Structure 1
Amino acid sequence: MTRTLARPEGRSFVLGLTGSIGMGKSATARMFAQAGVPVHDADAAVHALYGPGGAAAEAIGRAFPGTLSPDGAVDRAALRAAVLGAPERLARLEAIVHPLVQAESRDFLARHAREPLVLLDIPLLYETGGEGRCDAVLVVTAPPEVQRARVLARPGLDETAFAAILAKQMPDAEKRARADFVIDTGLGFAHAQGEVARIIATLGGPPGSPSRPPAS
């Protein structure tokens, strides 16, 4: 995908970062942060919301009995078991969590409105319509065998869980087709870091300056 992009007048350029599970999204977000780009991490926001006293924890406990730990935090393993393979339960969970995460995202954008570039790290960006809040989207990808190896190396995830997660995510090929930028993290850390630097240079210009990202 190729289109002319320009930093908006009076606010930051908002770059959305997404990718299917195991594609290297978190590592890529850290590269942006290390380069000085403010990053809003939706996963980190959810972690805080799930913690003791978190804004989502009590509501989740009411909606899904038995999913809270003694300290009042969400037991992620119990919650995963409660919603895995149950679309109606997953939709109920998302209705609790997504508005809270989006509110935090809006606060983040307001705090960093003077920055030339900010990053929204959103795992289900396309699936939830999050591209409407972004000026461009970066998708991270990797070969299927690399993705699978990364995911199955994570504690608590097996082939069944991996398949269930993939089933609720937009196919990687479709994400890449819709993206403004694509980074193949399977090509290694140095390649990804170079691509991040190039994107920052492309999008971090003066307000209103046009730039043309590479075809993906």
Structure 2
Amino acid sequence: MRTVALTGSIGMGKSTVAAMFADEGVPVFDADATVRRLQGPGGGLLAPIEAAFPGMTGLAGVDRAALGSAVFGDAAALKRLEAIVHPAVAAARAAFLAEHAAAPIVLFDIPLLFETGGDRAVDAVIVVSADPAVQRARVLARPGMAPEKLAAILARQTPDAEKRAGADIVIPTDVSLDVTRAAVRDAIRHLSGACLHRREGG
């Protein structure tokens, strides 16, 4: 099995590319989706989050917007939240690997891969990338997004150029969906072969 991480800065089209890999039969572990499930109605993180951040949960699960506002810019609060969330995600990831142990390739959709040093724990890294103007237009079209919020998010993320430099494969998303899908299929063929050396000591 090859473990492959998919990452990219905000607005780069990572979710679209992850879905393309899934369409091609590659098992995909989405860390964000796992967190949403664990924080949703009846989720396993509701009780510990409520204990650490009173008033942030209800029948619909965690109030993600309120919780995000509570930890945004507060390093100590963010660390408390991460101490709750990260072990639960790690357990879900282990279960995913066990379930797909026979798969030749598994893909981990990890937004903050380089920022957390996770690139060192996988066999290969795929970065999705787009022209900065395309990225900005996509993000600013999202509800509740503003230029200053985008700037703050980008300040916490490894620059796109550095991510591309650290990638084994770069998939463009400022092109047609057909071109991006072709790049995904090329990546799968590449990863299925014996041509990865940088991370395997060759």
TM > 0.5 between the two?
Answer: yes
Secondary structure at the aligned position of 1:156 is classed as coil
Instruction: Pick one of 191, 197, 212 that aligns with 2:179.
Output: 191
> How big is the shift at 1:75?
0.5
Higher relative contact order (CA 8 A, sep 6+): 1
Pairwise mapping of residues 1-216 of structure 1 onto structure 2 (< 5 A)? 12-68=1-57, 70-71=58-59, 73-205=61-193, 210-212=194-196
Q: Is the 8 A contact 1:141 1:184 kept in 2?
A: yes
Q: Is the 8 A contact 1:84 1:164 kept in 2?
A: no
Query: 1:45 is aligned with what amino acid?
Result: T
Identify which range, 164-173 or 43-52, moves more after superposition.
Answer: 164-173
CA distance in structure 1 between the aligned counterparts of 2:114 and 2:84, rounded to whole angstroms = 19
Identify which range, 182-191 or 22-31, moves more after superposition.
Answer: 182-191
TM-score w.r.t. length of structure 2: 0.91
> How big is the shift at 1:161?
2.2
Q: Deviations over 1:54-93 (max 9, x none)?
A: 122221222222221x306110110111011222222221
Query: 1:145 is aligned with what amino acid?
Result: A
> How big is the shift at 1:184?
1.7
TM-score w.r.t. length of structure 1: 0.86
RMSD: 1.5
CA distance in structure 2 between the aligned counterparts of 1:39 and 1:106, rounded to whole angstroms = 13
Q: Which runs of 4+ in 1 moved over 4 A?
A: none
Q: For residue 3 of structure 1, what is the aligned residue in structure 2?
A: none
> How big is the shift at 1:192?
1.1
CA distance in structure 2 between the aligned counterparts of 1:98 and 1:169, rounded to whole angstroms = 18
CA distance in structure 2 between the aligned counterparts of 1:160 and 1:133, rounded to whole angstroms = 33
**Length, aligned pairs only:** 197
